[in-house]
Amino acid sequence: MKNTSYFFYFTLLVALLFAVQPAIAQEDDFINEYIERLERSKEYLILVAETMPEEQYSYRPTVESLSFAENLMHIGWAMDWHSQSLMGGRPARDWNTDTELKVDKKSKADMIAKIKETFNQTIAFIQSFDTNKLSERLDYFGANRTKRQILLLLTDHITHHRGQMLVHLRLNGLKPPRYVLYQ
């Protein structure tokens, strides 16, 4: 009788492991694919940032628009906030006093270096992120979203502002760099 119950529990345990393992593998696949996307997005954004001459970094198509430089640094701010603060729990930077991810008095080279650094920090954060927490839900400006959705929103946000930067290039008579796939 004892052997039968051990066999039953052993079989149940093995069945549960086979049922749970694909879900864990899917989450790891999501993170790996997401990291690849962020790496490619970083490459493309840097090409865009390098294409604009430094003297045109303050260009804005309309008074209400962000400048080219402000769009670039806003992408860094958003990456930092989405990953380190929203998902990681670190207190958010104070927009009014923290100048690390603002244009401030940064040169073109300073801004590009800061964006690279912020991408690398975001990628490192996501690589070490506990995939079991991807289904946890957060308040995202009044919308109830999973942390997985937050990551997807972040890539949408990067694309949105990079798209504005591409328009800035065109409006200045510059040809944007060729689109980089998988981002």
pLDDT score at 72: 98
Averaged pLDDT, 33-56: 97
Q: Using one digit for the tens of pLDDT, what is the confidence trace for 109-151?
A: 999 999 999 999 999 999 999 999 999 999 999 999 999 999 9
What is the CATH code of the structural domain delimited by 27-171?
1.20.120.450
Q: State the maximum Cα–Cα separation within the chain, in Å, rounded to a whole number.
A: 83
143: helix, coil or strand? Answer: strand
The domain locations on the chain are: 27-171
DSSP state letter for 132:
G
* Predicted structure pTM score: 0.84
Looking at residue 25, its pLDDT comes to: 47
Q: How far is CA 30 from the centre of its chain?
A: 13
Closest C-alpha among 30, 108, 120 to residue 72? 108
Contacts of 179 (CB under 8 A, 6+ apart): 44
What are the structure tokens assigned to 47, written together? 């090409």
Give residue 6's pLDDT band: very low, low, confident or very high (50, 70, 90).
Answer: low
**pLDDT band, very low/low/confident/very high, at 38 (cuts 50, 70, 90):** very high
pLDDT mean across residues, the chain: 90
The rounded percent of the chain whose pLDDT value lies above 90 is 80
Per-residue pLDDT, 23: 46
pLDDT (tens digit, 9 = 90+) per residue, 44-54?
999 999 999 99
